[in-house]
Amino acid sequence: MKPNDFSPHRRIELEYGRYINHLFSKYFSEGSTPQRILEVFARLAETPAVTEDIAARLAKRMVTQVKVKNARSWREAAREASRGREIYEALQTEMQGPVGVRVQQIVAENAKLIGSIPAKVREHVNVEIASMQQQGERPELIAEYLKRRIPELTRNQARLIARTETGKAATALTRARSEDLGINWYQWATSEDSRVRPAHRLMDKVLVAWDDPPSPEALKGIRSTLGHYNAGDAPNCRCDTYPLVSLEVVSWPARVYSHGSIQRMGKRQFMEFSGMRRAA
């Protein structure tokens, strides 16, 4: 099984983005003026719970889809490892444990993010309006510009949330399942295309402990405010986590991250270093 078998499906991300955008697109009808849309967005920003209630259903749908796909990947991994029965049993009861708790957290976090879209769009638009007014633009030109700009900003926010949160949900579920099974390591896997950022390209196929995430930018000598994070947790990150259910799926020697540096280790050295004698 390839590492990217644990990645969220692109279809889930696209569908999630469309649903989020549709939540607000009803305000972009022909009869709605930019001023009217901004007034509605202002009310939504002041009462986010109204949007969050609907958003929670969208988020739950996304998380459920990611959870189902992630579970399929775990079943595939179980067939290749010696821990098949243990993994199957864990999948049957997981919603009663840390996975169930994490699912509820992800839904709540996503509902708040979706509910914050009106406030972010309104803030951004107000800055642009002020700038155009200072430049002496006529009100009708500003209104015409905003007819295009407000839907565009909303759509961009929806896409950003869908892209980032789908990946984060997959990472969070994989981590919860891994920790429930006592699997403390994963292999960082990029999408291996030209869009992979240099710092993440450095992490491709590196073994990482869940509780010791790297700062890829720092390792690459790039200044960043992102700090330390696991694969899939950074904004717009398309990287995946491949839980180390068996040492046999790794090409040894392998690169291993630990406490701020990457070093190359052979299988036996890694077993001693990580205490994974059981996984051999």
Instruction: Kindly report, residue by residue over 167-211, the tens digit of the pLDDT.
Output: 999 999 999 989 888 899 999 999 888 999 999 999 999 999 999
Let me know if 185 is exposed, middle or buried by CB neighbors in 10 A (0-12, 13-18, 19+): buried
Sign of the alpha-carbon dihedral angle for 209, 211, 216, 219? negative
Q: With a cut of 60, say whether residue 123 has pLDDT above it.
A: yes
Give the C-alpha distances (Å, rounded to integers) separating 177 from 44, 93, 237.
36, 11, 21
- Residues linked to residue 242 through DSSP beta bridges, in sequence order: 187
Q: What is the DSSP string of 96-146?
A: GTHHHHHHHHHHHHHHHHHHTHHHHHHHHHHHHHHHHHHTT--HHHHHHHH
Consecutive H or E run containing 165: helix 139-180
Q: With a cut of 60, say whether residue 4 has pLDDT above it.
A: no
Band (pLDDT 50/70/90 cuts) for residue 278 is very low
Band (pLDDT 50/70/90 cuts) for residue 162 is very high
Give the C-alpha distances (Å, rounded to integers) separating 234 from 20, 36, 134, 217.
20, 35, 36, 11
Q: Which residue has the higher pLDDT, 100 or 123?
A: 123
pTM of the model: 0.84
Q: With a cut of 50, say whether residue 280 has pLDDT above it.
A: no
Q: Which pLDDT score is estimated for 8?
A: 58
Q: Which pLDDT score is estimated for 248?
A: 87
Would you give the DSSP letter of residue 239?
A: -
pLDDT 10s digits, 23-77: 999 888 867 889 899 999 998 888 877 788 889 999 999 998 998 888 888 777 7
Question: Residues 92-117, buried b or exposed e (16+ Cβ, 10 A)?
Answer: eebeeeebeebbeebbeebbbbbbbb
